[in-house]
Structure 1
Amino acid sequence: MISSVRFLIDADLPRSTKTLLEKFDHEAIDVRDIGLRSAKDPVIARYAKDHQACLLTGDFGFADVRNYPPETYDGIVVLGLPRDATAAFILQLIEEILRQTDVLARLPHKLAIVEAGRIRLRPA
């Protein structure tokens, strides 16, 4: 079984994401709880890097490997969300990832693009 993952939750995800991550015994830090609610992407990325956290976001800006090279992070997970995604849909997508412990084990230094029924891992 994989050890606990420390996740940094971006502000574009539901508040209940933290509860879901903790239910699966992972550490969860919400940017809204640490004064980074409206921080620019580079500030959020720096926090994730400095605190050895896997960034969990719906912002495809973080999928740009030129600006956010995965090998320098403890993982970047970008959720491909439809424009009209509900909180329930987003949480279900996150739960799909959390149930795939083999994927979680491979997250460090990788970019994961997650869509309904599909997870793509980009190596460093």
Structure 2
Amino acid sequence: MRFLIDAQLPPALARAITSEGYDAVHVRDIDLTSASDHAVWAEASLRGAVIITKDEDFVMIARIRDETSAPAVVWIRIRNCSKKALLEAVVPILPTVVTMVEAGEKVIEVR
């Protein structure tokens, strides 16, 4: 499974996901740090990637677009925290996230 990590989250999250055996890239690594949400959405669509973000706008786009081929969105709802705490919260649940995406879930909230 492929993941595209949005700008509000650290590039270390992409590296941690990659170390778990998944394909992950941060928007910074592909020169999309300042890109619009729609440009990031389009890139995720091209890559067949799941968007991981803290930005509720992607949830709204997912609900409006409601396309079967649209990217799934993992919406991180954890309050501001250290990078270590973020990784400790997200990395262990990756298999569950993958299962949910494969089952057709389009928006997955992580609290």
Alignment deviations for residues 76-101 of structure 1 (CA, whole Å, 9 cap, x no partner): 1110021x32212211221132143x
Matches within 5 A, 1:76-115: 76-82=73-79, 84-100=80-96, 103-108=97-102, 109=104, 110-115=106-111
Equivalent position of 1:122 in the other structure = none
- Runs (4+) of structure 1 exceeding 2 A deviation are 68-74
| Cα contact 1:70–1:76 (8 A) shared by 2 | no
Cα RMSD of the aligned pairs, angstroms, is 1.7
Matches within 5 A, 1:1-124: 5-64=1-60, 65-66=63-64, 68-69=65-66, 71-82=68-79, 84-100=80-96, 103-108=97-102, 109=104, 110-115=106-111
Question: How many residues get paired?
Answer: 107
Specify the SS of the correspondent of 1:33: helix
Compare the two structures and name the one with the higher helix fraction: 2
Structure 2: give runs of 5+ residues left out of the alignment: none
| Cα contact 1:54–1:73 (8 A) shared by 2 | no
| Cα contact 1:58–1:80 (8 A) shared by 2 | yes
Alignment deviations for residues 21-48 of structure 1 (CA, whole Å, 9 cap, x no partner): 0111000111101110110100000100
Equivalent position of 1:118 in the other structure = none
| Cα contact 1:48–1:55 (8 A) shared by 2 | yes
In 2: Cα distance, 1:36 partner to 1:93 partner = 25
In 2: Cα distance, 1:39 partner to 1:81 partner = 23
Superposition TM-score, scaled by structure 2 size: 0.85
